[in-house]
A and B are shown apart, each in its own frame.
Chain A
């Protein structure tokens, strides 16, 4: 069993505030891992450390086999990232975005062309390559952003609230893409405020005040905390930080 993410006592302090407090967990290769928590619980700080944007105060983390602090460049080459707020450039066309990101990820011209065409075919977006991304409906933007985040075939993809504001059918299509990526061996690390989506994860963790308050399969957590739904489990656990 190989591990895509190994986190050991990972800690980040800002002054005398401990945003992430010695968290320890592992994510298996090909797993869909839901990373939940209330606003202010420390999720964003933890993700920034895992993708090499923020140095830990103490502890360590390995992503795709590389240390996030000492081998940040190796880590960045092997991960994809997409968020609700920042994903693609609205003023560029669909193809221009693919070319730009392909270049950033270090792909050659021929690879960018071939993978870009394959990507558009899979999304059935072949006819829309010259459309400005800003003119696409939100659901399509998010599906495109996810595919672009996978363009360089990363070992791990980080999705930060990928489905916020998206209509309920497109939200479900998005999760089918997540399953398909996981079936190809990509590890998916995802945050969401939709508790029904938390049910679609293989395992989830719930962060509470900088620590991991609970971790397990959705079934295990419902049993452990005596909730009918994950929403109930979440509300029971995640008192928001004042």
Chain B
């Protein structure tokens, strides 16, 4: 078997003539965290549902862990954990009872059920509220219970749809930590999101969805180079006469843009930080800040969609 746990080729979904997912190619490797990014309605959830065999495929093919979700949905669903967008549980039941139901559906041997449930609940810090009704749970706790379900299932692939939406920063942080833990356990994770900076910190690779197509795919750095152009972006704060002129005259600097009072953003072909410092100081100015800007996914995203709109 190849190293890819999910492989989609020309995957297509039509809704009354509209191409919601437009012939995408996608492969997700064993043990990586892959992010599906894009605005709402770009086709992320539909793609996920097709991988699980929960919605019909209009064309192309998808292969999950060597199984075809159209013909062998039970095999796929036995091995893949799914946390839907805004996951729901049976509110009148406790977390434990909710998981018992799923364990029965998964046909987990009764002797193991209790131990696996408690282990899963411990791994998401819900063990001490295991017998409280889910109605009393916060949104973050529900998401964690969803992760616990995937842990209990011993899934090889976890598909998380907007796992962090609607969570406060602390809950988001905790959840991302649990996603990293899944990965450490050897689970390939596919997550969809529109919260870019959060996703950036956990994803090994991302795919940018736009109108049913994958616009870009690769690591965050690769995407940045593609969209923002190669080079080193710097942020400089300095005082002195004609700082921008000084900056512009440095060899290798391609662009100087004002970024507010006494601040400039510089794009250069190579790392020009040493030269920048030297020139500003020798011109009699004072350098108060000089930072190397990491390419941010947010920037890539914004820039990409700006350009896409201009092109349209």
Instruction: Report if A and B associate in a common complex.
Output: no
